[in-house]
Structure 1
C-alpha cells in the first residue's frame, strides 16, 4: 500500500526507524487510516528495506537515523532494539521533531526521565506504544473504575504469560534490553494497573525474578523469564503482577487484568489463548455483565492517536510523564 493514497499536505510527515514486524504493522495502521505521509524509512536489513519499497514506494529508503534526519519531517517513529531508544529519541527531539517510540521508551527510570525532559524542553509531542490501553476491553474497565461502578478498588491482579519468547539475542541481554520478561511484558501490566487507578503513588515494591526455574539475586546479570511482583499503593490498595516467557500454559498466552472493588469487580481476559482477542466483563457477586468482546482492531490505535494529535498541532503533553513512574516501578522490581 502506498502513502500516495491521500496526498494531503496537512498530514504529518513521518520517518520510520526500524521496520521489523511491529514497525511495519504500525506503519500500515497509519496508512490505512490515512493519518500520515511516510517520507522516509530506515532499517539495517536489506531484505526489510526491500519490503519497505513495496509498502511505501515513494518514500526515501535509508539505513541510519542520520540519513532520515536529512529529510523535512514532523516526527519519527522508533521501532529499534531497546538499548537504542534513549539515544535515538534524544537525537530526534534535539532536532525539534516529535517522537513515537515502541515500548520500553528506555531501559531505566533515569533514561526515561531524560527523554521526557528533552521532549518538554523541545516542546514536542512524545508518545510510547503502550497499546493495551487502547483495547476496547481495557477502556471499558477503566471507565467502570473511574465512574465508581466497582466502588473503591482495593486489589488488582494482572498477568501476561507468553508460551514463546523473543528470538533476538539483544532481547535476552539485560544490558541491552533493560531486563527480561518484566520489562518486555510486565511494563504493560504496571502501566495498565496504574493507568486504570489514576497513577497513585507506589509506596513499596517487592518482587522475585527467576531464570529457568532458579531464583535470581537482585541486580543479577541473568535475564529473567519469570517475574512476580507486588505493589503497595498509597491508597491502601495492592497490585499483584506476574509475567513470563516460554512458560507451559497449554495455550499461546494468558493475558488478564482483574480489578476488585468494594461494590464489584471487572476483568479483561484474552480469548482462547489469543494475543489479539480480548473480552471484558463486570462482576456483581456471581453475576457477569459483559462489557466488550472481540473482534477489536486495537493494535494501531496508540500510534494513530499520536499522529492525529500531531496533525492537530499538539506539542508536549504532561500525560507522558506517567512513563517515568512506570519505569521507576520496573527499576524497583529489578532492585536497581
Structure 2
C-alpha cells in the first residue's frame, strides 16, 4: 500500500475549538498520523489566523455551520461545556462520528440525549476522559480486574488544581454545569467506576464551597472546593475531594487510591505535576512500583477514537457509562 493510499484510508476530521486542549489533541492526531485534517473552526479571528499557520493543509472556518459544509467523517469538539450538547447533536444528525472534550454534557439528561442520537445514527461517540489512558491507571485497573487486590472496599480520590480556570464561562453554573466537581471531579468519578466495572451507586452525599462558604443547591455561584462520598452496591465506599485555587503548596495533587482485602494500589502525580504519574501496589508497608513517568498519555483517547473510526467502528455502547458518571455528579449537585 502506498503512502497516498494509506492516507486516503484515514478518517477525514474537522476540529471545532482551537484552544490549548483542542490544539494539543489535534497535534496528537497529526503526530500519530491517525487522521486527515480537513477543516478547523474557531470564533476567534486571532485563533483562526494562527490556525492557518499551524495547519496549512486544513480549511479554516469561523462557525460549526461552515465546518459542516466540508466532507467529513468525524468531528472533534473542544469548546465551552454549554455548547457540547447542541454541537454534538448537530454533528451526529449530519451522520458524523463525534469526539468531545469532557464533560460530554452538563447533566445526565443531556448526556443521554447525545448517546441516543449516536445510537440512532449508528456513529462512534467518544469523550476525552484522558486519565483512563495513563499507564498508571491502566496498571491499577488491571490489578483490580485480575483480583490481585482482593475485594475493593474503599477508594480515595483527590484532584486539587492550584490555579483553576481562566475563562469566565467556566465559573458560570449555567454554562459550565458546575465548578470544580464537574471540571475535575468528573475524572475522579469516572476512574473509580471504570476501575471497578461500573457498579450501581446507591447513595451520594456532598458538600460544596465557594471561597470557604457553603453553597446551597441552585446557587448562582460555582464551587471551588467539593467533597463527596458515594456508596456502591458492592458495599465499597468512594471518597472524593477536588478544588480550584486551593493553597496547597504545589501546582496540583491528583491521586486515586484503591484499598482491597489483599492489598492496595495508587496512582499519584509526581512532584505536583499535571502530567507525570506513578503507580504502585502496596502490601502492608511494602511498595511495589507499577508505572513511572515519562508517559505521553494526553492524546491517547482521541487517537484511540480515530483509529477505531478508521477501522470502521460504528456506535459503541460502552459510551453509555457516561450517563452513570453524569448521574453521580447530578447527585453531588443535588439536582
TM-score (norm 1): 0.98
Whether the 8 Å contact between 1:107 and 1:177 is mirrored in structure 2 is yes
Give the drift of 1:239: 0.4
Partner of 1:73 in structure 2?
A: 72
Give the drift of 1:51: 1.6
Whole-angstrom CA distance in 2 between matches of 1:54 and 1:281 = 43
Whether the 8 Å contact between 1:6 and 1:34 is mirrored in structure 2 is no
| Equivalences for residues 172-211 of structure 1 within 5 A | 172-211=171-210
Whole-angstrom CA distance in 1 between matches of 2:6 and 2:99 = 22
Post-superposition CA distance 1:105-129 (Å, at most 9, x none): 0000100000000000000000000
Give the drift of 1:286: 0.6
Give the drift of 1:219: 2.5
Q: Does residue 1:126 correspond to 2:125, yes or no?
A: yes
Residues paired across the two proteins, number:
333
Whole-angstrom CA distance in 1 between matches of 2:76 and 2:137 = 25
Give the drift of 1:5: 9.8
Post-superposition CA distance 1:62-83 (Å, at most 9, x none): 0000001111100000000000
| Equivalences for residues 30-69 of structure 1 within 5 A | 30-69=29-68
Partner of 1:138 in structure 2?
A: 137
Unaligned runs of at least 5 residues, structure 2: none
Give the drift of 1:6: 9.3
The secondary structure found in structure 2 opposite 1:8 is: helix
Say which is worse superposed, 212-221 or 199-208, in terms of deviation: 212-221
Whole-angstrom CA distance in 2 between matches of 1:48 and 1:283 = 47
Say which is worse superposed, 102-111 or 45-54, in terms of deviation: 45-54
Whole-angstrom CA distance in 2 between matches of 1:254 and 1:335 = 26
Whole-angstrom CA distance in 2 between matches of 1:109 and 1:63 = 30
Whole-angstrom CA distance in 2 between matches of 1:167 and 1:78 = 19
Unaligned runs of at least 5 residues, structure 1: none
TM-score (norm 2): 0.98
Q: Does residue 1:253 correspond to 2:252, yes or no?
A: yes
Whole-angstrom CA distance in 1 between matches of 2:4 and 2:167 = 34
Whether the 8 Å contact between 1:140 and 1:292 is mirrored in structure 2 is yes
Give the drift of 1:218: 2.1
| Equivalences for residues 1-336 of structure 1 within 5 A | 8-336=7-335
Whether the 8 Å contact between 1:264 and 1:282 is mirrored in structure 2 is yes
Whole-angstrom CA distance in 1 between matches of 2:306 and 2:205 = 37
Distance 1:286 1:43, change over 3 A: same
Give the drift of 1:7: 6.7
Whole-angstrom CA distance in 1 between matches of 2:19 and 2:5 = 24
Post-superposition CA distance 1:165-188 (Å, at most 9, x none): 101000000000000000000000
| RMSD of equivalent CA atoms | 1.1
